[in-house]
């Protein structure tokens, strides 16, 4: 299959490296200088250093050229760039999958909502999500993901074509649940990083992950998603990975917040997008609209944007009144 991957960050690059041995793959970046460097080095030194490109992987900075012969488009850009990316390819008839995780800045919309507003209804589309660090996928380590789409036949066909090697792909019709799980787990990873950074230990982290899953399920169900999805790969699976893995950008944000570093400095040091930062603010707006209780997300939002010290936020969570677990 001929695949165009639009977005040459760490995740887009990792997927390109994985798929190139079995498919015709073109990796696109809007930055010609980045394409030139990658063409010379045959790796993405900026975002995924140390992982060599397969000889067949093509690189392109012209969007029309990258998409021209593609049978499938895979969108791998930050959520803030998702709508402009779709607007740029709205005239293209190819089916597409996005691998971005988050809520659109300012609107708080899920990415499937953005796609519905931007793309013709005739374009088959879906979201690919799950517990996956780019470095491990690029290294060929075993990974399981879920491809969700309201178009069942498209999901089955695309999953069967992409499934293989070290990558196992399941299918789902619960687009909302998959989107919410992928977005909120980043917020919870910031919380886990804060907890670990303050030295609260493994017991606290386990409790936080469990209660975080409950928050994710409450919002997901309120929006029309399914609890089973939140408890699957794209919810609980991704939550566990990002809350415990050293490669998690959002967890790194939490660790640095626990040290008292200001957010702008943290993001500059990170050098990558940490989607949980924006998503925390947008998720609370959604929760308020729907009357959903999300104390962990609220605490993260206060730390990130309202100047609340991390330790004080944790003390506030611990002082909440006793209640039934469910």
User: Which helix (H) or strand (E) element contains residue 128?
Assistant: strand 125-129
Q: Residues 279, 258: contact at Cβ < 8 Å? A: no
Q: Residues 257, 310: contact at Cβ < 8 Å? A: yes
Q: Which residues pair with 172 in a beta bridge?
A: 148
Q: What is the DSSP letter of 164?
A: B
Cα distance between residue 220 and residue 129, in whole Å: 15
Report the catalytic residues.
Answer: 185
User: Which helix (H) or strand (E) element contains residue 97?
Assistant: strand 96-98
Q: Which residues pair with 24 in a beta bridge?
A: 2
Cα distance between residue 282 and residue 301, in whole Å: 9
Here the tokens at position 277 are: 């930062």
């Amino acid at each position: 299959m001929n695949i165009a991957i639009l977005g040459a960050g760490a995740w887009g690059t990792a997927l390109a490296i994985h798929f190139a041995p079995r498919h015709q793959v073109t990796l696109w970046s809007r930055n010609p200088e980045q394409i030139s460097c990658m063409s010379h080095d045959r790796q993405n030194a900026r975002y995924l250093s140390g992982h060599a490109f397969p000889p067949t992987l093509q690189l392109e900075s012209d969007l029309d050229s990258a998409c021209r012969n593609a049978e499938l488009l895979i969108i791998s850009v930050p959520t803030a760039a998702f709508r402009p990316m779709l607007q740029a390819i709205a005239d293209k008839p190819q089916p597409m999958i996005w691998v971005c995780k988050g809520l659109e800045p300012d609107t708080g919309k899920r990415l499937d909502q953005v796609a519905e507003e931007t793309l013709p209804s005739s374009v088959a589309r879906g979201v690919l999500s799950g517990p996956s660090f780019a470095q491990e996928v690029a290294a060929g380590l075993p990974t399981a993901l879920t491809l969700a789409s309201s178009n069942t036949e498209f999901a089955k066909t695309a999953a069967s074509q992409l499934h293989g090697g070290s990558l196992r792909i399941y299918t789902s019709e619960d687009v909302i649940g998959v989107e919410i799980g992928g977005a909120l787990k980043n917020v919870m990873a910031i919380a886990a990083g804060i907890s670990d950074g303050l030295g609260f230990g493994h017991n606290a982290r386990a409790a936080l992950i469990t209660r975080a899953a409950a928050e994710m399920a409450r919002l997901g169900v309120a929006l029309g998603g399914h609890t089973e999805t939140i408890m699957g790969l794209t919810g609980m699976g991704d939550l566990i990975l990002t809350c415990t893995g050293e490669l998690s950008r959002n967890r790194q944000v939490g660790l640095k917040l626990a040290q008292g570093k200001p957010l702008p400095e943290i993001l500059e040091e990170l050098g990558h997008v940490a989607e949980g930062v924006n998503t925390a603010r947008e998720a609370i707006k959604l929760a308020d609209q729907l009357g959903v209780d999300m104390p962990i997300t609220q605490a993260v939002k206060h730390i990130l944007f309202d100047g609340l010290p991390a330790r004080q936020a944790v003390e506030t969570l611990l002082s909440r009144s006793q209640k039934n677990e469910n």
